[in-house]
């Protein structure tokens, strides 16, 4: 058993009595009530999910295991020669809530090299799809194709409920370790004439991903930063909630995460990073070489709104301030690409868009989210096929949602099955006030 798995087991055993006591002794305590607009409005803000892996504050943004983004980056061990933590150490942190030692991380890097070996049939599945399939289709299909080797599904009939977490952890770890190679394969297969670069033994996940993508330093750090920032955003977002919901039927990690990825592929969720680049580039084209100004950016934003479209990368279902993931990436850009024309344009949009959205008066949050800034960095380092950007989000999101479903099984969270009502019932309650 790896040190991570042994520590995770201790953590699970420590945690179980807390959940059991709450359920048994305090099960009737009311924590929320539901209004008609919440029932009609996408269950917005109803407190009905429990996770300890991350928490999203309306103003401050995300905390992973209690730490905000700068604290997370500062606490975890960095890769040799890198400025950002290894993804492996972050995986340990998400699962246990503890900062791993150097030895814990090294063991995990070695463990991932073994788990990370992608079965060759996965590549056959990708190749069998039409080449013009969206890369998210390729990623989701690749993940789903590995279901046949699920350790959870194989063990299911011979297992007690208390042990479910073990093969779920095994599947989750296998998946996390394999995702970078699958993503890099999709990229090189689809956009680089199938000129595939094999993984290199001994590298951590960020360095190996940069290597397999064929992009030089500091892209290893970009990958580490990107995967960590996109990992988790508590349980209610579409990809996390879908993964959790599907896993609640005791579907294994492959079924569950593939479903979550399909939700991530929507333009209001993860696909927004692709939409942002598309929007920015078409605006740049319209400028025809002229400098972006407050006036022409304002006009482009209004044109988009007046045509009935959303401004991609702005707004959020929970956040009410600038997303700290946006800020973390902006700080990276200020350090590494301060004069890049696209970064300057993104800054100009940040200067103008909140005012335009406030004036329009519809959105509850006129501030940028993670997707407003992420594509510019990829573009700068040569990854210009922007319909690939959501795949990068997906690799990162795997860390959060797969840690979550491991804990779901550890704490025996049951089948999720909310109750629906009819419109007539709502009308009846409305009449009663
Ligand atoms: N541009 C224009 N209109 C907007 C925007 C925006 N960026 N954000 C919200 N609105 C509109 C929204 O469409 C709705 O209009 P209507 O009443 O006509 O249906 C109204 O403002 C109220 O929406 P909110 O309650 O503020 O937002 P909601 O919680 O429903 O949706 C998002 C949240 C993120 C879906 C929404 O802000 C949006 O569509 N943003 C643009 C897409 C985007 O950036 N998505 C990525 C989110 C982060 N992620 O990675 O997943
Ligand atoms: C996410 O990272 O999942 C997005 O910001 C969307 C959300 O939290 O609802």
pLDDT tens-digit map of 10-55 = 999 999 999 999 999 999 999 999 999 999 999 999 999 999 999 9
Among protein residues, the one whose CA lies closest to atom 3 of ligand 2: 237
Mean of pLDDT values over 394-414? 98
Mean of pLDDT values over 222-242? 98
Q: Cis ω on the peptide bond leading into residue 213 (within 30° of 0)? A: no
pLDDT at 110: 96
Among protein residues, the one whose CA lies closest to atom 36 of ligand 1: 315
> Measured between alpha carbons, how far is 253 from 150 in angstroms, rounded to an integer?
8
Neighbours of 35 (CB within 10 A): 11
- Residue 155 pLDDT > 90: yes
Give the residue, out of 41, 236, 310, 355, with the most ligand 1 atoms within 8 A of its beta carbon, to mutate for a pocket test.
310
Q: Is 390 in the pocket of ligand 2 (CB under 6 A)?
A: no
pLDDT at 68: 98
What is the tens place of the pLDDT at every residue in 413-422? 999 999 999 9
Mean of pLDDT values over 70-74? 98
- Residue 287 pLDDT > 90: no
Among protein residues, the one whose CA lies closest to atom 9 of ligand 2: 237
Cα–Cα–Cα angle for 407, 74, 348, nearest 5°?
100
Q: Is 134 designated active site?
A: no
CA distances from 101 to 17, 176, 372 (A): 27, 20, 34
What is the tens place of the pLDDT at every residue in 383-397? 999 999 999 999 999
pLDDT at 288: 86
pLDDT at 52: 98
Mean pLDDT, the chain, integer: 97
Q: Is 397 in the pocket of ligand 1 (CB under 6 A)?
A: no
Q: Is 313 in the pocket of ligand 1 (CB under 6 A)?
A: yes
Percentage of the residues of the chain whose pLDDT score is greater than 70: 100
pLDDT band at 266 (very low <50, low <70, confident <90, very high): very high
User: Of 75, 72, 68, 31, which Cα lies nearest the Cα of 50?
Assistant: 31
Among protein residues, the one whose CA lies closest to atom 10 of ligand 1: 363
Q: Is 314 in the pocket of ligand 1 (CB under 6 A)?
A: yes
> Measured between alpha carbons, how far is 317 from 363 in angstroms, rounded to an integer?
9
**Which of the following is catalytic: 211, 316, 323, 408?**
316
Q: Is 163 designated active site?
A: no
**Which of the following is catalytic: 220, 221, 323, 371?**
371
Q: Rounded to 10 degrees, what is the CA torsion of 354, 360, 364, 366?
A: -10
Q: Is 273 in the pocket of ligand 2 (CB under 6 A)?
A: no
- Residue 251 pLDDT > 90: yes
Give ipTM to 2 decimals. 0.99
pLDDT band at 67 (very low <50, low <70, confident <90, very high): very high
Q: Is 317 in the pocket of ligand 2 (CB under 6 A)?
A: yes
User: Of 181, 135, 82, 29, which Cα lies nearest the Cα of 385?
Assistant: 135
> Measured between alpha carbons, how far is 219 from 215 in angstroms, rounded to an integer?
6
49 CA → ligand 2 middle, Å: 15
Q: Is 233 in the pocket of ligand 2 (CB under 6 A)?
A: yes
Mean of pLDDT values over 188-205? 97
Q: Which domains does the chain have, with CATH numbers?
A: 272-386 (1.10.230.10)
Contact of 104 with 92, CB cutoff 8 Å? yes
Among protein residues, the one whose CA lies closest to atom 6 of ligand 2: 237
275 CA → ligand 1 middle, Å: 13
Among protein residues, the one whose CA lies closest to atom 15 of ligand 1: 362
41 CA → ligand 1 middle, Å: 12
Percentage of the residues of the chain whose pLDDT score is greater than 90: 97
Longest dimension (CA), the chain: 67
Q: Is 364 in the pocket of ligand 1 (CB under 6 A)?
A: yes
User: Of 111, 181, 113, which Cα lies nearest the Cα of 146?
Assistant: 181
Q: Is 316 designated active site?
A: yes
What is the tens place of the pLDDT at every residue in 116-130? 999 999 999 999 999
DSSP secondary structure letter of residue 68: -
pLDDT at 433: 87
pLDDT at 290: 85
- Residue 310 pLDDT > 90: yes
């Amino acid at each position: 058993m790896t040190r991570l798995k042994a520590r995770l087991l201790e953590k699970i055993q420590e945690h179980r009595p807390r959940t059991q006591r709450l359920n048994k002794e305090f099960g009737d305590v009311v924590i929320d009530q539901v209004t008609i607009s919440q029932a009609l409005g996408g269950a917005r803000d109803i407190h009905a999910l429990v996770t300890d892996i991350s928490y999203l504050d309306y103003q401050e943004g995300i905390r992973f295991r209690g730490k905000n983004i700068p604290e997370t980056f500062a606490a975890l061990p960095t890769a040799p020669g890198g400025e950002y933590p290894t993804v492996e150490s972050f995986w340990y942190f998400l699962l246990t809530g503890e900062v791993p030692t150097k030895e814990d991380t090294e063991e995990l890097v070695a463990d991932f090299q073994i788990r990370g070996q992608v079965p060759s049939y996965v590549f056959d599945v990708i190749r069998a799809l039409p080449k013009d399939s969206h890369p998210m289709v390729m990623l989701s299909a690749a993940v789903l194709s590995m279901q046949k080797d699920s350790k959870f599904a194989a063990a299911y009939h011979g297992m007690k409920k208390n042990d479910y977490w073990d093969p779920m952890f095994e599947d989750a770890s296998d998946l996390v370790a394999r995702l970078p190679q699958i993503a890099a394969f999709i990229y090189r297969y689809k956009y680089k004439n199938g000129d595939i670069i094999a993984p290199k033994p001994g590298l951590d996940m960020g360095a190996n991903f940069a290597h397999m993508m064929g992009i030089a330093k500091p892209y290893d750090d970009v990958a580490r930063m990107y995967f960590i920032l996109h990992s988790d955003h508590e349980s209610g977002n579409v990809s996390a909630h879908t993964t959790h919901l599907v896993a609640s039927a005791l579907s294994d990690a492959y079924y569950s995460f593939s479903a979550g990825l399909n939700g991530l592929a929507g333009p209001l969720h993860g696909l927004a990073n692709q939409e942002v680049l598309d929007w920015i580039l078409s605006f740049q084209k319209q400028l025809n070489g002229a400098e972006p100004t407050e006036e022409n950016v304002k006009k482009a934003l209004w044109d988009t709104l007046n045509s009935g479209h959303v401004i991609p990368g702005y707004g959020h279902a929970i956040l009410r301030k600038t997303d700290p993931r946006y800020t973390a990436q902006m700080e990276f850009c200020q350090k590494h690409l301060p004069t890049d024309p696209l970064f300057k344009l993104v800054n100009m949009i940040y200067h103008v868009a909140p005012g335009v959205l406030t004036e329009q008066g519809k959105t509850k949050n006129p501030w940028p989210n993670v997707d407003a800034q992420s594509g510019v960095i990829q573009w700068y380092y040569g990854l210009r096929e922007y319909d690939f950007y959501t795949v990068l989000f997906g690799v990162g999101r795997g860390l959060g949602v797969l840690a979550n479903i491991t804990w779901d099984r550890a704490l025996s969270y049951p089948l999720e099955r909310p109750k629906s009502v009819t419109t007539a019932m709502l009308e009846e309650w409305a009449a009663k006030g």
